[in-house]
Amino acid sequence: MKRTDIRNIAIIAHVDHGKTTLVDAMLKQSHIFRDNQAVENRVMDSNALERERGITILSKTTAVIYRGVKINIIDTPGHADFGGEVERVMNMVDGVLLLVDAVDGPMPQTKFVLRKALQAGHRAIVVVNKIDRPQSRPNHVVNEAFDLFVDLGASDEQAEFATIYTNGLLGHAGRSPLKMHDSLEPLFEAILDRIPPPEVDTEAPAQFLVTTSFYDDYKGKIVTGRLYRGTITKGQALVRIDREGEVRPAKITQLFTYNGLHRQEVESASAGDIIAIAGIGDANIGETIADANQPEALPTIKVEEPTVRMTFGVNTSPLAGREGTHVTSRKLRERLFQETERDVALKVEETDSADVFVVAGRGELHLGILIENMRREGYEFQVSKPEVIFHEGENGEKLEPTELVEIEVGSDYQGVVVELLGRRNGLMRDMQVREDGSVHYVYVVPTRGLLGFRQQFLTATRGQGILNSIFYAYEPFSGQMDTRDNGSLIASEGGVATTYGMHQVQDRGTYFISPGQDIYEGMVVGQHIRDVDLEINVCKDKHLTNMRNNKGSESIRLDTPRQLSLDDAIEYISDDELVEVTPKGWRIRKKLLNAEDRRREKKRRDLGMA
């Protein structure tokens, strides 16, 4: 039968197209909040990092009631690196709202998320958002969206999508850009009309697929997913079927459904609803919770493989253990494998060394968010430069991941962008000049050419360029490339950085440190102006003598040091460098701290290459 009292939808879009803002408006117009309640913007972005960066990292579920129908809404991330979050929620919903910016139109991530929705057989409502922007071009954007549906192999039914125009910030919607309502009523009506209700069998044995999980300090592990068939009651005897098909007994202690932003405890839930279960602490994503009398497994969740990896290791610098709470390899291992239970797109492997682990993910940002979260939780560790994961082709040829890159820059920066991407073995696929004079490029670039590229791109375009990329395919190895123009300034001695010592050699490059900072031998203190490393002594002090200077003491001025963010530091490092990450900050260092050891290693590499 069809449960006409429920609709399950996911909101999917490219990053920064306004998904979370639109969900805000839907919640407010559904009277989820009290009239006098103070509500923050982007209320669904509850994670501290999400609010700081202005992006959605974790998919989240909420529910609103419209005309007696419960609409379960899943807000998904828009950044390509968190595509795993989008892939796994597709089996929880029956349709999607595809959000498209009224100026930008479909972007790389739009294609990725729409492809996943179409493959799952879902119908879409195209929502053209930010209709109030001065350069909005709604008709052009709708035509581009239709072309995208056709290119991705949509069925005739899927290609006949409904189109709603919205201003998410004001909470306005309409079926025409010229006739907007002062509410989101047209959007809610379209959801009820176009998104099919879930087809369920409430009399059959229970089947529930674990899609997301999180930890509650009081209730323990809580897993969320869709109840496909049957009914689940609190205290009911169930079984957990893991990915290998092994059946283990399970019993739920608490059962929740979603109501607005909150989980509401209930005694029982019926098929078709999105629910949360507490009490099954060993349940993992992709596993099935089923009736104990008739245990039948659902297909497990599969996501695309990681493309980038880096090593996480115990901090071995001379300053190790001063700032972190969790510093041992046992704690590091526990935390990394705990993350794989929540994030199915992340892979962790142990190495020959008990202190080092290889962590693979979808991109630099995917791994960078994990590093930042661990740092804030009190972990102290060191990470290596990200590197791509190569595959072997059918004929034994070496294959590497490539990305589809879309860049928009002013006409003044055309030459520098073409030069930068040419050095990274990029191939231009398309180039268009927009009405406002900006130039839109489409490139296919090896993933390793984009590691550390974003900072150089922003510097070259003076912060005015827009860069978006998404995984394209595994292509034959494109050859060697040199993407780093500058070497590092390396501390030759340990101690405390002095103004005098830094002033003596500040013409050699740009500093990452300030006077008074603790320094150790082998620590990277700045960027050299040339393409080779240089050892300098920034701890040198001015020796006092009994000789007087007629000119008096000269004031020493230092250039302002470059403040590297954690993402910048990970982008900056080369193959022989590490980022030392602590709760109080981060430092860049050489893998081999001793200068003699580095020279011997370089000589050995040169002889090996010869």
Specify the CATH number of the domain 391-476. 3.30.70.240
Could you tell me what percent of the chain has a pLDDT over 90?
34
Is 573 a known ligand-binding residue?
A: no
Kindly state the tokens that stand for 325: 């709470």
Q: For residue 217, what pLDDT is reported? A: 73
- 85-94, 202-211, 398-407, range with the lowest pLDDT: 85-94
Residue 546 pLDDT class (50, 70, 90 cuts): low
Does the pLDDT value for residue 609 go beyond 60? no
Does the pLDDT value for residue 53 go beyond 80? no
Kindly state the tokens that stand for 220: 């323990």
Residues 6+ apart with CB under 8 A from 478: 400, 425, 446
Q: What is the pLDDT of residues 449-461, one digit of tens each?
A: 888 888 888 888 8
Consecutive H or E run containing 72: strand 69-75
CB atoms within 10 A of CB 16: 18
Kindly state the tokens that stand for 217: 């300090």
Instruction: In whole angstroms, give the CA distance from residue 201 to residue 586.
Output: 54
Is 490 a known ligand-binding residue?
A: no
Q: For residue 38, what pLDDT is reported? A: 47
Question: Please, what is the end-to-end C-alpha distance for the chain in angstroms?
Answer: 72
Instruction: In whole angstroms, give the CA distance from residue 224 to residue 552.
Output: 72
- 167-171, 212-216, 419-423, range with the lowest pLDDT: 212-216
Q: Please tell me the total number of residues recorded for the chain in this structure.
A: 610
Question: Which class does domain 207-291 fall in?
Answer: mainly beta
Is 366 a known ligand-binding residue?
A: no
Q: Mean pLDDT across the chain, nearest whole number?
A: 85
pTM metric for this prediction: 0.80
Is 570 a known ligand-binding residue?
A: no
Is 16 a known ligand-binding residue?
A: yes
Q: For residue 444, what pLDDT is reported? A: 93
Instruction: In whole angstroms, give the CA distance from residue 23 to residue 42.
Output: 8
How many H-runs (helices) and E-runs (strands) does the chain carry? Answer: 15, 36
- Give the ranges where 241-392 is alpha helix by DSSP (H): 329-342, 364-376
Q: For residue 79, what pLDDT is reported? A: 67
Structural fold of domain 6-194: Rossmann fold (3.40.50)
Q: For residue 325, what pLDDT is reported? A: 92
Domain residue spans in the chain?
6-194, 207-291, 308-388, 391-476
Does the pLDDT value for residue 554 go beyond 70? no
Instruction: In whole angstroms, give the CA distance from residue 26 to residue 173.
Output: 11
Average pLDDT over residues 580-605: 91
Average pLDDT over residues 268-278: 90
Is 18 a known ligand-binding residue?
A: yes
Average pLDDT over residues 217-238: 86
Q: What is the pLDDT of residues 296-305, one digit of tens each?
A: 888 887 777 8
Instruction: In whole angstroms, give the CA distance from residue 148 to residue 130.
Output: 20
- Give the ranges where 2-135 is alpha helix by DSSP (H): 19-29, 48-53, 83-89, 108-119
Instruction: In whole angstroms, give the CA distance from residue 284 to residue 184.
Output: 37
Consecutive H or E run containing 602: helix 595-609
Instruction: In whole angstroms, give the CA distance from residue 132 to residue 121.
Output: 32
For 110, the 3-state DSSP assignment is helix
Is 130 a known ligand-binding residue?
A: yes
| CA–CA distances in Å: residue 404 to residues 344, 411, 474 | 23, 21, 12
Does the pLDDT value for residue 49 go beyond 70? no
Instruction: In whole angstroms, give the CA distance from residue 132 to residue 593.
Output: 56
Instruction: In whole angstroms, give the CA distance from residue 237 to residue 268.
Output: 13
Does the pLDDT value for residue 371 go beyond 90? yes
Could you tell me what percent of the chain has a pLDDT over 70?
92
Kindly state the tokens that stand for 318: 């001379």
For 369, the 3-state DSSP assignment is helix
- As a dihedral over the C-alpha atoms of residue 104, residue 105, residue 111, residue 114, rounded to 10 degrees, the angle is 130
Which is it for the CA torsion 110, 115, 116, 120, positive or negative?
Answer: positive
Q: For residue 550, what pLDDT is reported? A: 41
Does the pLDDT value for residue 338 go beyond 90? no
Residues 6+ apart with CB under 8 A from 138: 102, 128, 131, 165, 177
Instruction: In whole angstroms, give the CA distance from residue 131 to residue 538.
Output: 55
Cross-strand partners of 466: 408
Fold agreement (308-388, 391-476): yes
Average pLDDT over residues 102-128: 86
Instruction: In whole angstroms, give the CA distance from residue 357 to residue 336.
Output: 9
Kindly state the tokens that stand for 564: 């590297």
Give the long-range contacts of residues 249-258, CB within 8 A, separation 24 or more.
249/292, 250/279, 250/280, 250/283, 250/289, 251/279, 251/280, 252/277, 252/278, 252/279, 252/280, 252/289, 253/219, 253/278, 253/279, 254/219, 254/278, 254/279, 256/222, 257/63, 258/61, 258/62, 258/63, 258/72
Is 307 a known ligand-binding residue?
A: no
Q: What is the pLDDT of residues 308-336, one digit of tens each?
A: 999 999 999 999 989 989 999 999 999 99
Q: For residue 590, what pLDDT is reported? A: 95
Which residue from 426, 446, 287, 447 is spatially nearest to 366, judged by alpha carbons? 447
Does the pLDDT value for residue 445 go beyond 60? yes
Does the pLDDT value for residue 553 go beyond 50? no
Cα-trace Rg, the chain: 27
Question: Which class does domain 308-388 fall in?
Answer: alpha beta
Q: For residue 374, what pLDDT is reported? A: 94
Average pLDDT over residues 404-424: 88
